[in-house]
């Protein structure tokens, strides 16, 4: 392995820069040249590929977003378009490609390794949604979680001043992890996720019970993959007469300086991706399970149903703590 390339693709997440940095520094340490592909698969087909040096990743570990930029590139699903991208790697003698992104980005990498046996591919899970199989945590999840916590702590101040019920809609696509983790961390009265059932009448009764006990405010965290904050408010107010306000946190959840946990995770996974390429591995996604680095075949990552990353015990605890 003499030359590798790295790209970021799909939705960006805090910590992607730290992962790129780890790939670049680890590879150069082992005398491997590294190329950065700008704007994900779009840059791959447009030949927007440039050599990265040690200094290219200086002063990036603390920055959110991705200095390589990200893009959606639906045309990469077409074989003849991918052939252009593969040719751009081949003409530089690049033998390994690290793709940092989500499930869709992994599929692009899998196609490359199927169609071009002389280019190895490794995926690194970069998304705030924590919705990729083969890892307990994705890069960006912890930062987004902390952004939500910070926002809800602020909302709580105004909620209690006015004795309001606040409904906070958080991101996560079809995955409820951001809602569940943040709900536990802010002490929400109710957490609504796509994975668990809910009964709005029960939720309303619980909130009313809290008000009767003299609670100053209530916080409901709702995952975007389950319903919008607005529809949650209109369903809730069918059952109780509360001053329910909705806050949609939106894209602030994708930004910001990565937390320590995300920087360390990104650095470990970036370094591991290079180790796998050096040992001849391909078509795998890296991850962390029980604090151990693991690599899982793309096929296994795609074929399994979505991994549940919380335990029944954790779910029970959210109920026990929100009485």
Does 113 interact with ligand ADP (rule: CB under 6 A)? no
Taking CB under 6 A as the rule, which mask of x and - marks residues 11-40 in contact with ligand ADP?
x-----------------------------
**Residue with Cβ nearer ligand ADP (73 or 167):** 73
Instruction: Please list the residues that pair with 216 across neighbouring strands.
Output: none
> Which one among 3, 63, 72, 206 touches ligand ADP, defined by CB under 6 A?
72
Does 76 interact with ligand ADP (rule: CB under 6 A)? yes
Does 254 interact with ligand ADP (rule: CB under 6 A)? no
Q: Residue 195 CA to chain centroid, in angstroms?
A: 17
- Edge-first strand order for the sheet with 3-8 is 49-52, 33-37, 3-8, 96-101, 120-125, 284-289, 292-297
162 is in an annotated binding site: no
Tell me the two tokens of residue 298: 């793309």
Q: How far is the CB of 280 from ligand ADP (least distance, A)?
A: 23
> Which one among 33, 81, 104, 245 touches ligand ADP, defined by CB under 6 A?
104
Does 173 interact with ligand ADP (rule: CB under 6 A)? no
Tell me the two tokens of residue 53: 């040096």
- Inter-residue contact 37 to 5 (CB < 8 Å): yes
288 is in an annotated binding site: no
Query: Residues 53, 56, 59, 61: is their CA dihedral positive or negative?
Result: negative
Q: How far is the CB of 72 from ligand ADP (least distance, A)?
A: 4
> Which one among 35, 38, 41, 141 touches ligand ADP, defined by CB under 6 A?
41
Distance CA 295, CA 100 (A): 14
DSSP 218-258: EEEEEETTT--HHHHHHHHTTT----EEEEE-GGGGG-SPP
Active site residues: 129
Nearest to 173 by CA among 220, 124, 233, 132: 132
Q: How many CA atoms lie within 13 A of 31 on its CB side?
A: 1
Q: How far is the CB of 196 from ligand ADP (least distance, A)?
A: 24
> Which one among 39, 66, 105, 218 touches ligand ADP, defined by CB under 6 A?
105
> Which one among 74, 93, 187, 250 touches ligand ADP, defined by CB under 6 A?
74
- Inter-residue contact 274 to 23 (CB < 8 Å): yes
Pick the piece of the chain touching ligand ADP (CB under 6 A) from 73-81, 116-124, 180-188, 221-229: 73-81
Q: Locate tokens 């994975």: which residue?
A: 195
Does 88 interact with ligand ADP (rule: CB under 6 A)? no
Nearest to 242 by CA among 199, 202, 211, 198: 211
Pick the piece of the chain touching ligand ADP (CB under 6 A) from 74-82, 235-243, 263-271, 297-305: 74-82
> Which one among 18, 48, 57, 103 touches ligand ADP, defined by CB under 6 A?
103
**Residue with Cβ nearer ligand ADP (137 or 166):** 137
- Rg of the chain over Cα atoms, rounded to whole angstroms, equals 22
213 is in an annotated binding site: yes
167 is in an annotated binding site: no
Element (H, E) at 160: helix 141-162
Residues that bind ligand ADP (CB under 6 A): 9-11, 41, 72-74, 76-77, 101-105, 107-108, 111, 127
Indicate the annotated binding residues. 11, 21-25, 72-73, 102-105, 127-129, 156, 164, 171-173, 187-189, 213, 215-217, 224, 245, 251-254
């Amino acid at each position: 392995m003499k030359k590798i390339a790295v790209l970021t693709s799909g939705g960006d997440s805090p910590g992607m820069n730290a992962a790129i940095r780890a790939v670049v520094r680890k590879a150069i340490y082992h005398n491997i040249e590294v190329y950065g592909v700008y704007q994900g698969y779009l840059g791959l087909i447009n030949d927007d590929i440039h050599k990265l040096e040690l200094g290219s990743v200086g002063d990036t570990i603390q920055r959110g977003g991705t200095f390589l930029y990200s893009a959606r590139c639906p045309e990469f699903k077409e074989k003849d378009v991918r052939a252009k991208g593969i040719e751009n790697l081949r003409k530089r003698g690049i033998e390994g490609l690290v793709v940092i992104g989500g499930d869709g980005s992994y599929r692009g990498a899998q196609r490359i390794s199927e169609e071009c046996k002389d280019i190895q591919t490794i995926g690194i899970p970069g998304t705030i949604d924590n919705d990729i199989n083969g890892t307990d945590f994705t890069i960006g999840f912890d930062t987004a979680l902390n952004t939500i916590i910070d926002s809800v702590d602020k909302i709580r101040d105004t909620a209690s001043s006015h004795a309001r019920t606040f409904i906070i809609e958080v991101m996560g696509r079809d995955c409820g992890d951001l809602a569940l983790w943040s709900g536990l961390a802010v002490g929400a009265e109710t957490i609504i996720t796509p994975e668990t059932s809910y009964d709005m009448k029960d939720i309303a009764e619980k909130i009313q019970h809290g008000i009767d006990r003299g609670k100053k405010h209530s916080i409901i965290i709702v995952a975007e993959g389950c319903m919008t904050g607005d529809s949650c408010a209109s369903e809730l107010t069918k059952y109780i007469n509360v001053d329910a306000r909705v806050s949609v946190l939106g894209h602030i959840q994708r930004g910001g300086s990565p937390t320590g946990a995300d920087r360390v995770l990104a650095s470990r996974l970036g370094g591991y991706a290079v180790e796998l390429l050096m040992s001849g591995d391909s078509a795998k996604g890296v991850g962390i399970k029980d604090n151990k680095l693991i690599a899982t075949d793309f096929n296994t990552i795609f074929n399994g149903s979505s991994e549940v990353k919380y335990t029944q015990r954790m779910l029970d605890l959210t109920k026990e703590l929100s009485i």
